[in-house]
Amino acid sequence: MSATVPDKEAVDLLLELGGDTCKICFQCGTCTATCPWNLVRDFSSRRLMYKVQLGLIDFGDEDLWTCATCGACVKRCPRGVANIDVMRALRKVVSEVGAAKVPDSLRLSVKNIATVGNPQGESEENRGEWARALGVKPFTPETEVLYFSCCVPAFDAKIRRIAQSTVEVLNKVGIDFGVLGSKERCCGESVRKAGAEAIFLSLAQGNIETFSESGVKKVVVSSPHCYHTFKNEYPEFGAEFEVVHFVQLLDQLIEEGKLTFSGEVKKKVIYHDPCYLGRHNDIYDEPRRVLQAIPGVELLEFPDSRQNAICCGGGGGRIWMDTPAGERFSELKLQQAIDAGADVIAVACPYCMLMFDDSVLSMDKEGAIEIKDISELVLEAI
């Protein structure tokens, strides 16, 4: 990373936007040692903190876009530095004073979200098409639960199976639910981590207004990214609805005896902790309890799991950026899963599914291992 002397205005803005947390860093290097990027390439969070402290930041450095906001460094920093806030502030400054440096693929996805409410750039009108095909009813004020699928299952035909299996399970257990279809917008979690704060605020305010006007009191989500931002970030802007990730609901239904199994899944299943369910929200036990409740499942663990889990590489807006072969965490984990003898990697996040599905293809592992959402495994055994 080449150091340069940026203008004082940009550095002041960086500190003002949340980057000032780096001031307490005492350069121990724990973050760099913890960061999964150093399993595949050089990336020094410690060095970045130091350069921000000195005001010596190269706003054109591609490493400003590397962090996947997995949170491993934040959990371990002995000084309590919020490294992710520094990354977010750096990206905000680049977006505000030097937009030409934002990676092209990220800029396109963010532009799509700003204009049509989804990263794929699909028509807003088509957001509810997957639900209409399944006969899911529109949400009304009398409906108990809003199911919010996330943009990826809504528009990506390969990942749609998450929303489809979730809907089938909800129907089988008799939960009264509906969808808002074209009224929804992207939750904005990754947009915010990518530094596009104004767009995030617009998305949050729009969704909160829509949910409020529609009479939503409880939202069930498939994505830990939607979960995180709805639960931890939207309340600051007036959100008052309850937020539940689907694995939490499944765990509760099994506990209450409302979800029982008549079939089985005789497979070795290894669970991948999504960063935004695990490290960011401490939800580790619920998905494991659900998988262990499925008759026939033999639950395996990755060498690093729970708080130490290696991320899929799709957080922090990285889902929309290219990662060179050999530097993809999902490829590393796919190989770990195969080496552990797993038949299936169980995921609880559309981003993780997208990353792992891509890796199955890029590593030519079709037939060697399957990638399944927990909802799919549950549905197979009901």
Nearest CB to ligand SF4, comparing residues 77 and 270: 77
Nearest CB to ligand SF4, comparing residues 80 and 326: 80
Nearest CB to ligand SF4, comparing residues 30 and 210: 30
Nearest CB to ligand SF4, comparing residues 89 and 360: 89
Q: Any contact of residue 283 with ligand SF4 (CB under 6 A)? A: no
Count of residues of this chain found to bind ligand SF4 when the rule CB under 6 A is applied: 14
Report, in Å, the least distance between residue 83 CB and ligand SF4: 6
Nearest CB to ligand SF4, comparing residues 30 and 335: 30
Nearest CB to ligand SF4, comparing residues 67 and 353: 67
3-state secondary structure the chain: CCCCCCCHHHHHHHHHCCHHHHHHCCCCCHHHHHCHHHHCCCCCHHHHHHHHHHCCCCCCCHHHHCCCCCCHHHHHCCCCCCHHHHHHHHHHHHHHHCHHHCCHHHHHHHHHHHHHCCCCCCCHHHHHHHHHHCCCCECCCCCCEEEECCHHHHHCCCCCHHHHHHHHHHHHCCCCEEECHHHCCCCCHHHHHCCCHHHHHHHHHHHHHHHHHHCCCEEEECCHHHHHHHHHHHHHHCCCCEEEEHHHHHHHHHHCCCCCCCCCCCCEEEECCCCCCCCCCCCCHHHHHHHHHCCCCEEECCCCCHHHCCCCCCCCCHHHCCCCCCCCHHHHHHHHHHHCCCCEEEECCHHHHHHHHHHHHHCCCCCCCEEEEHHHHHHHHC
Report, in Å, the least distance between residue 24 CB and ligand SF4: 7
Q: Any contact of residue 53 with ligand SF4 (CB under 6 A)? A: no
Q: Any contact of residue 77 with ligand SF4 (CB under 6 A)? A: yes
In angstroms, rounded to a whole number, what is the distance separating the alpha carbons of residues 194 and 305?
26
In angstroms, rounded to a whole number, what is the distance separating the alpha carbons of residues 346 and 38?
25
Nearest CB to ligand SF4, comparing residues 35 and 243: 35
Which of the stretches 25-33, 146-154, 180-188, 317-325 binds ligand SF4 when contact is defined by CB under 6 A?
25-33
For the segment 233-272, give every residue that binds ligand SF4 (CB under 6 A).
Answer: none
Report, in Å, the least distance between residue 263 CB and ligand SF4: 47
Q: Any contact of residue 47 with ligand SF4 (CB under 6 A)? A: no
Q: Any contact of residue 46 with ligand SF4 (CB under 6 A)? A: yes
Q: Any contact of residue 69 with ligand SF4 (CB under 6 A)? A: no
Q: Any contact of residue 28 with ligand SF4 (CB under 6 A)? A: yes
Which of the stretches 79-87, 138-146, 207-215, 334-342 binds ligand SF4 when contact is defined by CB under 6 A?
79-87
Which of the stretches 41-49, 204-212, 248-256, 370-378 binds ligand SF4 when contact is defined by CB under 6 A?
41-49
Q: Any contact of residue 79 with ligand SF4 (CB under 6 A)? A: yes
Cβ density class 203-230: b for 16+ within 10 Å, e for less: bbbbbbebbeebebeebbbbbbbbbbbb
For 372, the token pair is 């399944």
Which of the stretches 73-81, 227-235, 252-260, 351-359 binds ligand SF4 when contact is defined by CB under 6 A?
73-81
Q: Any contact of residue 45 with ligand SF4 (CB under 6 A)? A: yes
Which of the stretches 62-70, 76-84, 102-110, 211-219 binds ligand SF4 when contact is defined by CB under 6 A?
76-84
Binding positions for ligand SF4, rule: CB under 6 A: 25-31, 45-46, 49, 77, 79, 81, 83
